């Protein structure tokens, strides 16, 4: 049973592969989107909006690569970084012992109420109540890397 030439089968194969990849991309994007406009739905996270919202963060944190100083630790490469791990920064014991990495989930919790996720942290910041704002800030934090 060879109704298709080799060439035909290669074409059919590529079309099928392209279809699978596009479906996968659609699905991946859909699962990234979550709840927060008036309809209770989250917009796609926006790094640009996050940058604006994070001006308050930059009053305490440096965000450029290799930049020292700041009341808080440098936030370059913070996404997926071990908690409390910037060399030379003097963290509280609470932060040093927090354990694990800064991923989407832990950042979402920390930025909502820093002292609830890490009691004893020196990050004296009330937190960002709106989930969409936090997701935007996290999208911005992800851009702080090579």
- Smallest Cα–Cα separation from 74: which of 142, 82, 66? 66
- Burial of 31 from C-beta contacts in 10 A (0-12 / 13-18 / 19+): exposed
Residue 144 makes contact with ligand HEC by CB under 6 A: no
Residue 132 makes contact with ligand HEC by CB under 6 A: no
Q: Evaluate whether 118 touches 95 at the Cβ level (below 8 Å).
A: yes
Residue 135 makes contact with ligand HEC by CB under 6 A: no
> Residue 146 Cβ, how far from ligand HEC at the closest point, in Å?
17
Q: Residues 29 to 58: which contact ligand HEC by CB under 6 A?
A: 54, 56-57
- Smallest Cα–Cα separation from 133: which of 62, 56, 28, 63? 56
Binding test (CB under 6 A) with ligand HEC, winner from 45, 63, 95, 135: 95
Residue 139 makes contact with ligand HEC by CB under 6 A: no
Q: Which is nearer to ligand HEC, 14 or 97 (CB)?
A: 97
- Smallest Cα–Cα separation from 64: which of 55, 77, 54? 77
> Residue 57 Cβ, how far from ligand HEC at the closest point, in Å?
3
Q: Which residues contact 85 (CB under 8 A, 6 or more apart)?
A: none
- Contact residues toward ligand HEC (CB under 6 A) are 54, 56-57, 59-61, 71-73, 75, 78, 83-84, 86, 91-92, 94-95, 102, 111, 121-125, 128, 137
């Amino acid at each position: 049973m060879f109704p298709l030439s080799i060439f035909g089968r290669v074409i059919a194969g590529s079309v099928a592969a392209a279809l699978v990849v596009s479906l996968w991309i659609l699905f991946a994007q859909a699962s990234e989107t979550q709840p927060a406009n008036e309809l209770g739905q989250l917009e796609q996270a926006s790094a640009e909006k996050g940058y604006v919202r994070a001006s308050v963060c930059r009053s305490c944190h440096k965000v450029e690569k290799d930049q020292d100083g700041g009341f808080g630790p440098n936030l370059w490469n913070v996404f997926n970084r071990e908690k409390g791990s910037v060399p030379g920064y003097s963290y509280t014991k609470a932060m040093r012992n927090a354990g694990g990495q800064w991923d989407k989930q832990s950042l979402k919790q920390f930025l909502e109420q820093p002292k609830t996720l890490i009691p004893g942290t020196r990050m004296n910041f009330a937190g960002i109540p709106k989930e969409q704002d936090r997701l935007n800030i996290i999208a911005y934090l992800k851009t702080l890397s090579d």
